[in-house]
Amino acid sequence: MKFIFFLLLFFAASCSQKDSHLRDNGNITLVFKQGKIGDPEPIKKLLEKFEQENPGTKVKEETLPASTDEQHQFYAINLESKSSDFDVFSMDVIWVPEFARAGWLRNLNHLMPEEEKEKFFPGPRQAVQFNNNIYAIPWYIDAGLIYYRKDLLEKYGFGPPKTWPELLHIAQYISPREKGIYGYIWQGKQYEGLVCNVLEYFWGNGGRIIKDGQVAIASPENVFALQFMRDMITRYKITPALVTTAMEETTRYIFGNSRALFMRNWPYAWKLFEKNGSLVKGKVGICPLPSFPGKDSASTLGGWQLGINRFTKHPKEAEKLLRFLTSASAQKFLSLAIGYQPARKSLYQDEELIKNQPFLVSLYGIFEKARPRPVTPYYMMISQVMQPEFSAALLGIKKPAEALASTQRQIIHILGMEK
């Protein structure tokens, strides 16, 4: 009995010790949490700068595994138990409404007055809102786009396609004439990336998932778009069946090996194609995703936002850190150092940055039109329902109309769960 008592005492002591350690000689230690990225040095430098500007505040950087799923799981479990072990953290664009609804994020309305909001792209601006309140500040932006082989298109006298029929035509024309070149590759494995791909066809045909508060995923526009994706594989044969297992890196690898004419991917692939020694260096062009004739093109928004843990013990300092990290100068610094695309529009006119990353200029128009996936706290559940159904439609296990009707039913069930 005595032993257990001492054991408890020991735990209690070590716990309180940890607590007081955070306030060492009047210092406050903030914890900044984010997923693992390529080179951690730039972020460390940035945090050091923050510490110099804010004497008395220390920032500890903690990283999570690169897998987005694992990060989501970590935050959900820790925030559910009201953990205050981290103060400022980065969130995937699809998490903000969910975390906000759960009450895990501090309201940041006061940091985003109208004139400040205007400085960000419209997509992320929408994605950080929930019930007309702001819960995060956009940090990096990402969006789907088309990579094409400039040299091959020029060789046959084509320009970049604006509509899906145009892309289809070009691919059907060139691919048989160039040995070992697939027409068009994209990400069709059953995972979140599949949803990103499919939504671009829905939107490009004027379709929606939720329209005016009603589930509208089984609309004729969407059925048509999904059928088109299936047809590219089986009927038009511009897309190899292997896309049904492809993720970003699979397609990037094929395109980078000079084995495809068109590819849908995120901006990160550009730098890898332009690297010395790359087989396609100087041969790659980018353009926005095509749309169906007469409709607007849109690409799926990705990217990361910074928010503040509702249970933080240092809200004031956390806010300072958040403002610092999302400031124009910090976003510029990170863009120069790691090459991420800043969420602030003004930086796309920053001479130094453009000189260093000329690619950014052509991304501006794409980012302007990037659309968030349904901004709802139910998004994760909805996505889990969409993934297998889309996959089934691409494989021909279900007809697109069937798959979307079944998705529609399941989404309605999910939206009714709260009652």
Separation CA 44–CA 338 (nearest Å): 12
Three-state secondary structure call for residue 409 = helix
Neighbouring C-beta atoms of residue 368, cutoff 10 Å: 14
278 binds another protein (CB under 8 A): no
387 binds another protein (CB under 8 A): yes
Amino acid in the structure at residue 96: V
Chosen residue from 122, 160, 206, 388 binding another protein by CB under 8 A: 388
Residue number, 10 or 253, with CB nearest to another protein: 253
| 166 membership: H or E segment, kind and range | helix 164-174
Pick the closest to residue 216 from 207, 203, 228, 229 (CA basis). Answer: 207
Chosen residue from 76, 111, 272, 405 binding another protein by CB under 8 A: 76
279 binds another protein (CB under 8 A): no
409 binds another protein (CB under 8 A): no
Separation CA 393–CA 400 (nearest Å): 5
Helices (H), 213-344: 220-234, 248-256, 269-273, 315-326, 328-338
377 binds another protein (CB under 8 A): yes
Helices (H), 235-371: 248-256, 269-273, 315-326, 328-338, 351-356, 359-368
190 binds another protein (CB under 8 A): yes
Residue number, 297 or 406, with CB nearest to another protein: 406
191 binds another protein (CB under 8 A): yes
Interface mask toward another protein for 248-267; x: CB under 8 A: --x--xx--x-x--------
54 binds another protein (CB under 8 A): no
Residue 3 contacts by C-beta under 8 Å, 6 or more apart in sequence?
none
Chosen residue from 245, 327, 346, 349 binding another protein by CB under 8 A: 245
Least separation, in Å, of the C-beta of 36 and another protein? 17
**Are β-strands 133-134 and 28-35 bridged in parallel, bridged antiparallel, or unpaired?**
unpaired
Of 14-43, which residues contact another protein (CB under 8 A)? none
Residues lying near another protein in the complex (CB under 8 A) are found at 69, 72-73, 76, 80, 98-99, 101-103, 188-191, 240-245, 250, 253-254, 257, 259, 377, 380-381, 384, 387-389, 391-392, 394-395, 397-398, 417-418
